[in-house]
Each structure stands twice: as C-alpha cells, then as structure tokens.
Amino acid sequence: MFVAFLITLALVVACVFIHYEMLRMVSIAMPKMHGSPRRRMLSAIGVVFMAHILEISLFAIAFALMQHRWGLGEIAGLIEGSWVDFFYFSAASYTTLGMGDLFPTGHLRFVAAIESLTGLILIAWSASFTYLAMNKF
C-alpha cells in the first residue's frame, strides 16, 4: 500500500504541476495572440483540453505499470487487452464518470479514488480559468 500511496502522490503532484504550467502558459499567451476573442478562447480551450488528456494519460500509464510490472492490482471487467483499456478506465475515473464496465482491484482502487478527486479539482480549476478568461477577453 505504501508504494501505491507514493505513486499516487507523485501522480497528483505531476498533474497539478502540468495543469498550473499549462494554464500559466495560456494566460501569458492570450493577451499577445492576434485575432478575434473567439480564436483566443478556442486556443485556450484546446490547451486546457490537452492538459487533461496528458493528465489522464499519466494515470493510465501508472495503472498499466502498477498492474503489469509491480503487481499492485489490476483493472478487471470487460477488458480487451490493449492500452485503450487503461486510458478508458483512467478517463472514466478522472472525470468521475465511473461507467462500471471496468473496475480496479487491489491497491489500484486507492489510485482510482484519488484520480477521481484529482480530476474533479482540476476540471473545476479549468472551468474557473475559462470563466475568468471569458470575462477578460
């Protein structure tokens, strides 16, 4: 469990760092961008979306490593046996969608629970950033 906790802590720190840097980059670039406010906002949304995809991917990689390399649990259920399973499960957890066709076992349950909390916070941060950017531009 201690290893799963450390991996989860590293993932959360990495995701917060990525999110902060991406939002900071957008907030610096937006005033300097040429074009309409619509173009600025679409660019900002694109970068924020990429940040979320990157964060989901980090958790998916961690799930794959924790299952296949370290044996800390597994993603069970309707598995097709590809990278997409881990990405799909990670996206469902991150967004708190929780479809139920895939589910974690072992220590991966802890990681999935914290991923949901992390995703909820980062999605709220993105929504707040987007709202403030809309008011500014």
Q: What is the pLDDT of residue 56?
A: 99
Token pair for residue 1? Answer: 């469990």
Q: Is the pTM of this model over 0.85?
A: yes
Instruction: Return the domain boundaries, the chain.
Output: 2-29+36-136
Q: 73-123, pLDDT tens digit by residue?
A: 999 999 998 999 999 999 999 999 988 899 999 999 999 999 999 999 999
Euclidean distance between the first and the last CA atom of the chain, given in angstroms as a whole number: 47
Distances (CA, A) of 82 to 56, 75, 108: 16, 12, 18
For residues 57 and 50, give the distance between their C-alpha atoms in angstroms, rounded to a whole number.
10
The candidate with the shortest Cα–Cα distance to 60, out of 83, 37, 34, 27, is 83
| In contact, 54 and 18? CB cutoff 8 Å | yes
| pLDDT beyond 90 at 60 | yes
Query: What is the architecture, at CATH level 2, of domain 2-29+36-136?
Result: Orthogonal Bundle (1.10)
